[in-house]
Structure 1
Amino acid sequence: MNGHPIKRREFFRGAAALGSLGMSGILADPVIGTRSAGQLPARSEFVVRNAYVMTMDSALGDLANSDVHVRDGEIVAVGTRLIAPTAKNIDGRNTIVLPGLIDTHWHLWTSLFRSLSGDTKERGYFPLSKRLGKAYTPEDMYRAVRFATAEALFSGITTVHDFNHNVRSLNYAKAALRALTDTGIRARFSYGYYQAQPSEEATDFDSIAALRELMTDSQKNLLSLGFAPREVSVYKMYRRDWEMARKLGLPITVHANSSRSEALEIELMSKEGLLGKDVQLVHATVVTPAEVEQLAKSGTSVSLTPYTEMRGGFGFPTVGQLFSARVLVSLGVDTTALAGNADMFAIMKAIQSVGNARAESEFKLSPRRVLELATIDGARAMDIADRVGSLKPGKRADLIMVSTMNLNMGVFTDAAHLLVEAAQPSNVDMVVVDGRILKHNSQLTALNVEQVIREARDSLVAVRRRANWY
């Protein structure tokens, strides 16, 4: 498959014209326009009152019948009977309030392929994504990323890690960033390769560096930039790429040891000195004890995506091995082409079930420990734990409110068990990102859901037609 890498000259022509406009300038694009962008709600002052508050902070713990005070996007206080005379009161009775859920690995652009992966090798996920990825336009990229992000917010996911491996030109990267910005979600955009990029073709770091500089000029922006290189087993210039990424200060995320055909990639990375706290590996499904030890010693984290790892035939997630070695573990959606949806509650339940099944113990992974993977440990893996991941005064206000007044939640027992074993996205009544209420009364507040769905469908029809994939 032929691709279209970003050219240095092309990027700097655009950067020169838009650099003075900051982040909003680089994200503006005549191809995408503004017709799809909703108006994000303003940050306001409010107090959620009388909720069961799971702070996910080791010092604060859980607080029954308690309040969370938010002002100007920041958590001001957590406690009982908080005094806030100018704040709007939000009734938290019969709800659980906890930090927003954090996804640490998701190819958002593949959201148009929901459950499209077929029943034969020729119609499977990898042929599907390569063929249809080539047929994408920047507008398709925008619609796909927005579609995925809308589902994330609806499901209670307040941070996503967009591992974008279909960046076919500058406009594609801009379109993805624009979609993330328009929805108001917190995100890392990991700048990747494109589908079927030739292994001898070098990564264009000039464009990545310029994009990084433009993004860091906007201190209040919810987006950060990472690097998503090709696997070390298929790309021979990996040393150059990792060195360049580290010079730019970019966190690195790479698929590794995903299946038996890709075994011992971690061993190679360890020998080459590539592992470290700035590195996140994805899947690590087939690992040796020595490799797990190398991950632990280097501080490398691992994102597990249980539904795609099992549905795609990679194998069972290695959560027990990683936990035993004290490797930092977090959770991801990966792709709804295989996972079907972006249900982080189901992902938590799956990882607990797999961990306990492999250990042959009901008690190997507790629901509370699993909940940490989707909150504070996810924040640690994304290097944003100083800002989000727990409900602690001084942190940014990323939180969700889950109703217990539904048939699947109606008997309140242990909150952690209830969330991991019983909760569903439909139970999420309110979602707050950086102090903005983006879902309230079970409805998204900043997006026209019908339009998001309609335009995603239109793009899929057009992409399949261009790719001749029926």
Structure 2
Amino acid sequence: MNLADSSVPERWSTGRTVVLGNVHVISMDSRVGDFVGDVVIEGDTIRDLGPGAGADRPDDALVVDAGGAIAIPGLVDSHVHAWEGALRGVSPDSDFMSYMALTHSTLGPLMSPEDVAVGQALTAARALDQGVTTIVDNNHNVRSREHAHAALTALRDAGVRTVFAAGVGMGQPDGHLLPLLLELRSAHDDDMTRIRLMQAFPTLDGWKFAVEHGFGAVAEFGTWLDDLDGYLTSGLLGPSFTLDHCAGLSAEQWSRVADSGAAVALAPRSDPHYGFAAAAPVLQADRVGVQVGLSSDNEFEYGSHLFEEMRQLMSAQRGAAAAATQAGEQDVPRPWGVRDALRAATVGGALAAGLPGRVGVLAPGAKADLVLLGTDRLRPITSELGAAVSYATVRDVTAVVVDGRPRKWAGELVGVDWADLVRRGEDSRDRLLARIGHSVEDLRFAGELVLGG
């Protein structure tokens, strides 16, 4: 059997040993290294990998010849607002305040649980299609328990590993949120889904609740918050916290982030798009030894694509390092290479998801979350690592495995009626736009949706 055999997902039964052979493996684990050989999967876990690792296999094992495909760990989107999935491209030129007004104040409050669910499903399908196996979903549209359960059910049905950070829109009542977290953890928290707190503007009371109950939290973190030092010196931050953006932090504040052990998720396209900074602050993170994760943020104005985000972040780091060197600064971090970029999208993402060593690497005992890149369109290849980071696109993602189950195979999502999903998303979007006096035809050639316009 091979990667083009569409019957593989049907034969890939739960619990059956699967051997992916003839693979160029980029493990992102220094103990394993990179090699050409086999990846052996049992259930939801990588049992073994290496040259000849598949030789010792059960007689009924499913053996797939990967034909020299490139295997990388499943990518981790460290910060995405999945509920906006059906609003893709509604206002591609909006600035930050317009985005907030449209999502938090206007469209978000109109969304039913069903609207949220289809947005979640679309975001999850796009994630899997592009090789993202884990998302940290900063869901700031949890307006009721029904909205929360609909969102989580959609993600579970899609088969993407999820950290679900529940929150509400800016200025919306959130009295229900903290008790709801306990309910969500009881109903949904397991190996595929983790529950966290998200507050559009974090509060120390919320953070204390998260710490006391073992949730952790995510926060959109930057100079738009009052008293950044108060958060950073609260004693609450730790590895179960993820700070997004980190725009405008001083060197001393970056040191405090590093000392706290909190994870950091950078958004290479979002930051300059919204005017937070000329580029994501990756060099500042490098200076204090923080391993960053990678974020797509949202699809309201630009499409999520972790391969593109990798390249953007690598360019931002190299440009910042060059500028610092030319300015005569001392102890400038070295310019990133392609492995550094992939590390942000895998190892750094695992830190942001609170799953270091379990995802983001290909190693014995790690979760069987991986991506196979076909090489036909990438040739000629001199460096598999370079091809994976600098050249790959969604069309090169041939197979995606999450928790030991194929979610994409032979270039197609498994079990997804894409046409029906898109139709439901468009219906949701059209209903929402109609309620604020707009239609797709009004906006077809517009860059920005102007409320009342």
The equivalent residue for 1:225 is 195
Alignment pair present for 1:333 and 2:296: yes
- Structure-1 separation of matches of 2:136 and 2:186: 19
Q: How many residues align?
A: 415
The equivalent residue for 2:71 is 97
Alignment pair present for 1:54 and 2:26: yes
Residue type at the aligned position of 1:142: A
Unaligned runs of 5+ in 1: 1-38, 233-237
- Structure-1 separation of matches of 2:11 and 2:297: 26
Q: Give the C-alpha shift of residue 203 in structure 1.
A: 5.5
The equivalent residue for 2:46 is 75
The equivalent residue for 2:256 is 294
SS at match of 1:394: coil
Residue type at the aligned position of 1:63: F
| Conservation of the 8 A alpha-carbon contact between 2:133 and 2:400 | yes
With over 3 angstroms needed to count, the CA separation of the structure-2 counterparts of 1:273 and 1:93, relative to structure 1, is same
- Structure-2 separation of matches of 1:195 and 1:107: 14
Percent identical: 29
Structure 1 residue aligned with 2:221, among 256, 260, 273? 256
Alignment pair present for 1:355 and 2:317: yes
The equivalent residue for 1:168 is 143
SS at match of 1:147: helix
Q: Give the C-alpha shift of residue 311 in structure 1.
A: 1.3
Residue type at the aligned position of 2:370: L
Alignment pair present for 1:194 and 2:194: no
- Structure-1 separation of matches of 2:225 and 2:79: 20
Alignment pair present for 1:420 and 2:420: no
Alignment pair present for 1:411 and 2:380: yes
Alignment pair present for 1:204 and 2:177: yes
| Conservation of the 8 A alpha-carbon contact between 1:41 and 1:445 | no
SS at match of 1:281: strand
- Structure-2 separation of matches of 1:328 and 1:364: 15
Q: Deviations over 1:72-128 (max 9, x none)?
A: 122121022322232222222231011111111000011222122254669932222
SS at match of 1:190: strand
SS at match of 2:64: strand
Structure 1 residue aligned with 2:272, among 287, 310, 313? 310
When structure 1 is superposed on structure 2, of 444-453 and 81-90 the one drifting more is 81-90
Residue type at the aligned position of 1:410: R
| Conservation of the 8 A alpha-carbon contact between 2:239 and 2:354 | no
SS at match of 1:360: helix
TM-score normalised by structure 1 residue count: 0.84
Q: Deviations over 1:263-290 (max 9, x none)?
A: 6643221233333222211001211011
| Conservation of the 8 A alpha-carbon contact between 1:99 and 1:375 | yes
TM-score normalised by structure 2 residue count: 0.87
The equivalent residue for 2:231 is 269
Alignment pair present for 1:127 and 2:87: no
| Conservation of the 8 A alpha-carbon contact between 1:302 and 1:327 | yes
When structure 1 is superposed on structure 2, of 381-390 and 121-130 the one drifting more is 121-130
- Structure-2 separation of matches of 1:395 and 1:211: 26
- Structure-1 separation of matches of 2:161 and 2:305: 17
- Structure-2 separation of matches of 1:448 and 1:120: 31
Residue type at the aligned position of 2:159: G
- Structure-1 separation of matches of 2:144 and 2:297: 22
| Conservation of the 8 A alpha-carbon contact between 1:300 and 1:328 | no
Unaligned runs of 5+ in 2: 1-9, 326-333, 440-453
The equivalent residue for 1:215 is 188
